[in-house]
Structure 1
Amino acid sequence: MGRDGGEFFLESQIAESLRFEDNVLKGATYNQTQGFGLRLLSGSCSLYAHSPHLTHHALQEATSALRTLSPTAGSVIEIKHTHAPRPAHAPLPNVTFKDKVSQLERMNAFARALDSRVVQVSLSWGLRDQDILVQRPDHPDVGDKRIYATLTSMITVEDKGRREYGYVSLGRKKDTDFTDEAVWQRQIKEALRKALVSLESIPAPAGAMPVVLGNGITGILLHEAVGHGLEADFNRKGHSVFSQKMGQVAASPLVTIIDDGRPDIGMPHHHGSLTIDDEGTPTQKNTLIDQGVVSGYMSDVLNAHLMGQSSSGNGRRQSYAHMPMPRMTNTYMAPGTSAPEDMIASIDKGIYAVGFGGGQVDIVSGNFVFATNEAYLIEKGKKGPPIKNATLIGNGPDVMQKITMVGNDLTLDPGVGYCGKAGQSVLVGLGQPSCLVSEMTVGGAQT
């Protein structure tokens, strides 16, 4: 391999999805992919070749190409497998295509019968079965089977000419078909609830004010505004607001942030849970901020080596055609001792943000803008009416410093979390307990 190692990565994957809308099946896909990636590491340099063709000829071409780019590279690891580890069968072999369509039809009928204001129901169902094998010169050969299941529901309602929607997703890292009535009916009812709440929403206030962040999905703010900044590559290159901050205070002493990819004793069935990362390193529990102090970065093999550390098990890639890089797995804030209702009761005027839509973050500065998709006014210690189009504007480390209460209600979002970085998308988990931020800038229509 290269002077500092590398790896051979094999992948085989089967994926299928169905989309139901306008009372009919609008689309269905079924894909099989396979391929290999070969990487050489030398200093801070990574050389990578990949191919969808699992043949000795393709492997020889990849090896030759890497040797041409790096004449000083050592011999390539002996490849013991010429075929990718194929899934034994398609996901859910006992559930036919007709069964899946019938399931979506039942869900659609159930949603439309719940309320006369329902004008559109959009459903999607996805399954993915991925097998990988990783070979490294300094490491035993390791493999992993990853089965992912997703179900999403979006309900659109209309009343007096006003249209709003509610969206809920459910993701599991296991072989599940979501045919349990209690599961999918609960999801659809929640999507409808969100839509009906939006129908009653009033314009959001604007200005600096206290904000209570609800538990679960609000962890997306933590993920984007803080989590990415604690990835090792950004810190090694000095591109993060947390660069050179190891051992320094970066948050309130109430704040402990953890990334935990372990599927057995850590975070079972969440989309960010992995037995091993995509470099073959076992995942682990990594404390990133410990009681307000920066205590760790998420690293892959390359960045850990360059920083004089061991990989934290966060080397991840989208597919065999991509090089691994430091990525989050399941990132969350540890629970505190406060009750959420006490946070609300402590505020004279503020907002209670329960869910988020899109947002933007600058990793270097930590500045962010996030749009809420479910939020409420807080007036005189009471939860008030729902508000619409509220945006939260701030700086990640600054917000972490202003957390004055952390809830006892930690929840990881059960939905489908995709994280993008450098053109690659991977599945992640996120969450947090409720917490009170003493002041944030809220963008809205009323001042």
Structure 2
Amino acid sequence: MLEQFDTGRILRQALANGGEFADIYYEEGSSTAIVCDDGKIEKVLAGTDRGVGIRVISDLRTAYAFTNDITEAALLSLAHTASRAVKGEQFAGVMDLRPRKSAGGFPILQPPDTVPLEEKVALVQAADRTARAFDPDVRQVTVLYRDGTATMKIMNSLGEFIENSRTGTVFTVQAVAARGDIIQTGYEPLGGVRGFELFRDRSPEEIAVTAARRAVMMLSARKAPGGSMSVVLSSEAGGTMVHEAIGHGLEADLAQSGMSVYSGKVGTQVASPLVTVVDDATIPHARGSFFFDDEGSPAERTVLVENGILKGYMYDRLTAMKEGCRSTGNGRRESYQMKPIVRMSNTIIAPGSSSPESIIQGVERGLLVRKMGGGQVNTVNGNFMFEVTEGYLIENGVVGEPVRGATLTGNGPDVLKKIEKVGSDLGFGIGTCGKDGQGVPVADAQPTLLIGEITVGGAA
């Protein structure tokens, strides 16, 4: 579409009043969303959308405007609107486009748009029935199916022309179980940069049973004991810890503004020597993966922490310009209606050498966290609080009875320094990460971890 227009003229218009950089971002995609709640299909949304955003960076500030009127006249007007927000020296760069770089995306075996809507609805209904039939105590079930396919084209004042396509599918089941005045929730997600073949690995019924089993099991669990104790985070728990306790704090915009506990800490020890943290957008089919980010920078595997030492941050073009370095390919946006900002992709604590079994066997008294729930973190001081949706007591190296209502409270750098063992396994979790009003798909992963001491919120 953009190739039909004089994009050099549009970029020159965007930089008419000055600026160091400008780009045009075109996006066209289709999506389907189905929600089943309380046994009824509550929502079926299917549609397409396309639009263009134009950005100008001047004096390390951003002007951004967007439209869904895809005509050359409209884009020239849009570029004029963006240019009016900046003042500076005339741009002296080259506008000639170089040969385009294209990425068709990871191989998709069964594109979602080839699957009839009726089949998608039937899949959601099957999960709903399965969860409800699991146990009479299951009182409410919510099932979500969502897919999307998008093609992006990016042209900028450096002469770069990048094409990129992405397809993603996500499926979640949430079950609520109740017995007397006790209410517990079980949640299980599935998703990735995949098409409908996603369900060849795990069926909708399996996802439903996992969510329902978790909710029902927690009904009979006693309240978790509170206090300071050892905690084993299973690889099955997902990567909530790495995402919240350190991931956001290593996004360069927060670090540069002094809003991160890791600001100015490059080269210092911020975690146990056993801990290495990477952000890797190149993992095939992982939910946060891509070939080019939303600014056209190539995806990378970025080492953030190596053997406990902070090596660097995640950058987009703007934050990289501020430090005179290059982007790490972490410029992401929810859609053409929003400017790109620094975001994680797939953030991982790298596996170690200890077997998960030996880690548990070495704990005299503690808590095994099999599944993490929601959480929050203050990136300025690193303090966090996470919910535990599936946890078990550990007594003398043996996993015992389940407990409910546990929370983990601590400080990111402090807790990361207290990691005493790192397992040889690796488990992934998926989610949609929110920041500055934007949501983007991400994945997190960690091995089994032993935290020597952390505060567990519970009964007493």
User: How far apart are 1:377 and its partner, in Å?
Assistant: 1.4
Preserved CA contact (<8 Å) 2:58 2:88: no
Partner of 2:363: 347
Q: For the Cα contact (< 8 Å) 1:235–1:243, is it kept in 2? A: yes
Aligned to 1:440: 454
1:66 matches 2:86: no
Letter in 2 for 1:46: T
Deviation at 1:149, TM superposition (A): 0.5
- Contact 1:213/1:352 (8 A) holds in 2: yes
Residue number in structure 2 paired with 1:33 = 49
Shift of 1:158: 4.1
Please, which moves more after superposition, 348-357 or 403-412?
348-357
User: For the structure 1 residues 236 and 198, does the alpha-carbon distance in structure 2 shift closer, same or farther, using more than 3 Å as the test?
Assistant: same
> % of aligned pairs identical?
36
Single out whichever of 157-166 and 244-253 deviates more from structure 2: 157-166
Q: Deviations over 1:336-384 (max 9, x none)?
A: 0112222222222211112222211111111111111111112222212
Task: Judge conservation of contact 1:335–1:432 (CA < 8 Å) in 2.
Answer: yes
Aligned position for 2:440? 426
SS at match of 1:129: strand
SS at match of 1:174: coil
Deviation at 1:197, TM superposition (A): 2.0
Does structure 2 retain, via aligned residues, the 8 Å contact 1:394–1:440?
yes
Give runs of aligned pairs for residues 107-256 of structure 1, distance below 5 A: 107-159=127-179, 162-176=182-196, 180=200, 183-256=203-276
State the AA in 1 paired with 2:294: D
Taking the aligned partners of 1:60 and 1:346, their CA distance within structure 2 comes to: 66
TM-score normalized by the length of structure 2:
0.88
For 1:227 and 1:182, how far apart are their aligned partners in 2?
28
Structure 1 residues 179 and 293: alpha-carbon distance in aligned structure 2, compared to 1, 3 A threshold = closer
After superposition, give the CA deviation of every residue in 1:39-86 in whole Å (9 maximum; x if it has no partner): 111232111111122122321222222232224364695899xxxxxx
Classify the secondary structure of the residue corresponding to 2:114. coil
Change (3 A) 1:235 1:142: same
Q: Determine if contact 1:211/1:440 at 8 Å carries over to the other structure.
A: yes
Distance 1:317 1:93 in 2: 23
Name the CA distance, whole Å, in 2 between partners of 1:48 and 1:119.
47
Show the counterpart of 1:83: none
The answer as to 2:306 corresponding to 1:286 is no
Q: CA–CA distance in 2 between the matches of 1:298 and 1:139?
A: 24
Question: 2:408 maps to what in 1?
Answer: 392
Contact persistence 2:123–2:204 (CA under 8 A): no
Equivalent residue number for residue 8 of structure 2: none
| Structure 1 residue aligned with 2:5 | none
- Cα distance in structure 2, aligned partners of 1:73 and 1:193: 63
Residue aligning to 1:84: none
Number of the residue aligned with 1:328: 344
Matched, 1:43 2:59: yes
SS across alignment from 1:69? coil
| Offset at residue 116 of structure 1 (A) | 4.1
- The alignment partner of 2:112 has SS state of coil
Q: Please tell me whether the aligned partners of residues 383 and 411 of structure 2 are also in contact (alpha carbons under 8 angstroms).
A: yes
d(CA) in 2 for partners of 1:286, 1:436: 25
| Structure 2 residue matching 1:205: 3-state secondary structure | coil
Supply the distance in 2 between the matched residues of 1:306 and 1:182 (Cα, whole angstroms). Answer: 45
Which residue, out of 269, 283, 308, partners 2:285?
269
- Alpha carbons 1:402, 1:438 under 8 Å: kept: yes
Q: Alpha carbons of 1:31 and 1:79: their partners in 2 closer, same or farther (altered >3 Å)?
A: farther
> Aligned residue pairs: how many?
432
Q: Is the 8 A contact 1:43 1:306 kept in 2?
A: no
Does the CA-based 8 Å contact 1:167-1:194 persist in structure 2?
yes
Task: Give the Å deviation of 1:179.
Answer: 5.3
User: Which moves more between the two structures, 41-50 or 322-331?
Assistant: 41-50
SS class of match (2:445): strand
Partner deviation per Cα, 1:228-269 (whole Å, 9 max, x = no partner): 11111112222211111111111110000000001xxxx111
Q: Which amino acid aligns with 1:204?
A: A
SS at match of 2:84: helix
Does the C-alpha gap of structure 1 residues 106 and 253 become closer, same or farther in structure 2, counting only changes over 3 Å?
A: same
Supply the distance in 2 between the matched residues of 1:133 and 1:73 (Cα, whole angstroms). Answer: 28
Residue 244 of structure 1 aligns with an amino acid whose one-letter code is: G
Gaps spanning 5+ residues in structure 2: where?
1-14, 99-104
TM-score, normalised to structure 1's length?
Answer: 0.91
